[in-house]
Amino acid sequence: MLVAEAGFVEIQPKILYFGTPVVLVSTLNEDGSPNLAPMSSCWTLGWTAVLGLTLVGKTVENLCRGMECVLNVPGPDLWKAVERLAPLTGKFPVPETKAAQFRFEPDKFGASKLTPLDSELVSPPRVLECPLQLEARVCHIREMTGPELQSIGGAAAVEVSVVRVHARRDIVHGERYIDPARWQPLIYNFRHYFGLGRELGRSFRAEV
Ligand SMILES: Cc1cc2nc3c(=O)[nH]c(=O)nc-3n(C[C@H](O)[C@H](O)[C@H](O)COP(=O)(O)O)c2cc1C
């Protein structure tokens, strides 16, 4: 087929968030209070997760110091709470690159109307309303080198090791599975929130 007939155009999209689950990362501030930040550049392999975080945020500062976090995974019903957190930063003063759109908020749980719940192995609290909560410890932080990342103050790839998983009882199947028919992530799709559509099929390795 000729390239001209294939139906594609070359574009330079301003953002490349092509649809990944939202995670609310809880960390501890230097005074021991909790910070909570939405992010979506997160993936897992085994019990290891990698987080892509801008260096100007409070979350990355807290991770470098405290080396612990909880990855709280919300369902679609929590999108409004996530969006309440969206214009906030725990960093004071607000970094210049964010000053036009963000404001400082020391009480992110209160501002989002989400409830802190004690963790078992790490210091930052979990988010009660999130059906999946992964307690984790930082094992590696690497600065990312993409040239366009410099304009937003740089970014880091933070590798964390999950040390405990909490799942709300109603999404658990048997002893060791999350039931994909009852669990749904909240998807951040080019800065719009979506749930999942209906199931299309199962992988040859699906066990439930
Ligand atoms: C749904 C959603 C996803 C986001 N994903 C990321 C992300 O993957 N990485 C990142 O650095 N910031 C992401 N952000 C922006 C941060 O939440 C924002 O910079 C926030 O101010 C960070 O808070 P903090 O400074 O208290 O850490 C996302 C925001 C929203 C609403």
pLDDT digits (tens, 9 = 90+) for 74-98: 999 999 999 999 999 999 999 999 9
Tally Cβ neighbours within 10 Å of residue 88: 22
How far is ligand 1, taken at its centre, from the CA of residue 74, in Å? 15
Q: What is the pLDDT of residue 1?
A: 81
How far is it, in rounded angstroms, from Cα 158 to Cα 64? 9
Q: What is the pLDDT of residue 5?
A: 81
Q: What is the pLDDT of residue 31?
A: 98
Taking residues 45-55, what's their average pLDDT? 98
Kindly tell me if the per-residue pLDDT of 157 is higher than 80: yes
How far is ligand 1, taken at its centre, from the CA of residue 39, in Å? 5
Q: What is the pLDDT of residue 59?
A: 98
Taking Cα atoms as reference points, which of 51, 60, 71, 67 lies closest to residue 135?
71
How far is ligand 1, taken at its centre, from the CA of residue 127, in Å? 17
How far is it, in rounded angstroms, from Cα 18 to Cα 115? 29
Mode of pairing for the β-strands spanning 116-117 and 177-178: unpaired
User: Does the structural domain 14-194 have CATH classification 1.10.238.10?
Assistant: no
Which of 22, 40, 103 should be mutated for ligand 1, with most atoms under 8 A from CB?
Answer: 40
Contact yes or no for 56/90 (Cβ under 8 A)? no
106-134 pLDDT, tens digit per residue, is 999 999 999 999 999 999 999 999 999 99
How far is ligand 1, taken at its centre, from the CA of residue 53, in Å? 7
How far is ligand 1, taken at its centre, from the CA of residue 193, in Å? 14
Q: What is the pLDDT of residue 13?
A: 92
Q: What is the average pLDDT value for the chain, to the nearest integer?
A: 96
pLDDT bin (cut points 50, 70, 90) of residue 3 is: confident
Taking Cα atoms as reference points, which of 151, 159, 135, 128 lies closest to residue 60?
159
How far is ligand 1, taken at its centre, from the CA of residue 77, in Å? 19
Q: Give the position, in ligand 1's atom list, of the atom nearest the Cα of 105.
A: 26
Q: What is the pLDDT of residue 4?
A: 72
Q: What is the pLDDT of residue 2?
A: 77
Taking residues 3-28, what's their average pLDDT? 92
Question: What percent of the chain has a predicted confidence (pLDDT) above 90?
Answer: 91
Residue nearest ligand 1's atom 23 by CA: 89
Which of 43, 59, 104, 144 should be mutated for ligand 1, with most atoms under 8 A from CB?
Answer: 59
β-strand partners of 189:
18, 192
Q: What is the pLDDT of residue 139?
A: 98
